[in-house]
A and B are shown apart, each in its own frame.
Chain A
Amino acid sequence: MAGAIDPIHQFQITPLLGPVTNSATFMILAVAGVSALLLLGSRERALVPGRLQSLAELSYEFVRGMIHQTAGKHGMVFFPLVFSLFMFVLFCNLLGLIPGSFTVTSHIIVTFALALLVILTVIGYGFAKHGLGFLKLFVPHGVPGYILPLVVAIEVISFLSRPISLSVRLFANMLAGHITLKVFAGFVTMLSAALGGVGLALGVLPLLLTIGITALEFLVAFLQAYVFALLTCMYLNDALHPGH
Chain B
Amino acid sequence: MAKGSDERREGSGDDLAGRLDRLDKALERRGAGRDDGAGSGPVSSRDAQGIARGFRLSTEMVAGVIVGGGLGWALDRWLDTSPFGLIVLLLLGFAAGVLNVMRAAGIARHPGADDHPPL
Query: A residues within 8 Å of B by Cβ?
Result: 58, 62, 65-66, 68-72, 137-138, 140, 150, 153-155, 157-158, 160-162, 164-165, 168-169, 172-173, 215, 218-220, 222-224, 226-227, 230-231, 234, 237-238, 240-242, 244
Interface size class of B (residues with CB under 8 A): 35 or more
CA distance A154 to B103 in the complex (A): 13
Which residue, of B56, B60, B89, has the highest number of chain A Cβ atoms within 10 A?
A: B60
Taking A160-B67, A165-B63 as known contacts, 18 extra A-B pairs with beta carbons closer than 8 A to each other, sorted by chain A number, are: A58-B39, A68-B32, A69-B33, A140-B111, A155-B99, A157-B96, A161-B66, A161-B68, A161-B93, A169-B56, A169-B59, A173-B55, A215-B42, A218-B41, A219-B41, A222-B39, A222-B41, A223-B55
Q: Which residues of chain A are near B32, meaning CB under 8 Å?
A: 65, 68-69
Q: Is the CB of A227 within 8 A of B92?
A: no
CA distance A69 to B103 in the complex (A): 17
Q: Is the CB of B64 within 8 A of A161?
A: yes
Complex contact B113–A72 (CB within 8 A):
yes
Write 25 A-B pairs (CB below 8 A) sorted by A numbering. Answer: A65-B32, A65-B36, A68-B32, A69-B33, A72-B113, A140-B111, A154-B95, A155-B99, A157-B68, A157-B71, A161-B100, A164-B63, A172-B59, A215-B42, A219-B40, A219-B51, A227-B56, A227-B119, A231-B56, A234-B112, A234-B116, A237-B113, A241-B112, A242-B111, A244-B111
Cβ of A227: which chain B residues have Cβ within 8 Å of it? 52, 55-56, 119
